[in-house]
Amino acid sequence: MTPIEEQFLSRLEQFIPDFTLNEQQMRQLRIFYENLIEWNKVMEKVTTTQIETLIHQGIRKGTWDLLSNGSVKILYKYGGQIIVITGKVVNNIFRIGDAWVWNGIGTP
């Protein structure tokens, strides 16, 4: 178990005694927790509304890149970080797939 997983699980156990997770649930919670940490680098208080607003700003102001598989990747610099937004254009409408704060590892 990684240090982030241990920290997250210990926080959960404070609220829910005898709390157990299977491996898949732990992996999903770890990804959620790591993403939350990355979003905290961009905004002081992370809410769904703030993330949605930032995604919409990225769609309007970011750099669009059409990938070889037909999907779109948008890079948007905000608060010293790079926001990555992916999706597809279907019937002239951009459908958001995912959005995350790039962690600096590999290419965004």
Q: Residue 10 — very low, low, confident or very high, per pLDDT cuts 50/70/90?
A: confident
Strands, sheet with 72-78, edge to edge from the N-terminal-most edge strand: 63-66, 72-78, 81-90, 93-101
Question: What does pTM read for this prediction?
Answer: 0.73
Instruction: Report pLDDT digits (tens) over 73-107.
Output: 999 999 999 999 999 999 989 999 999 999 888 88
Instruction: Report pLDDT digits (tens) over 30-40.
Output: 788 788 888 98
- Sign, CA dihedral 52-53-56-57, equals negative
Tokens of 34: 């790591």
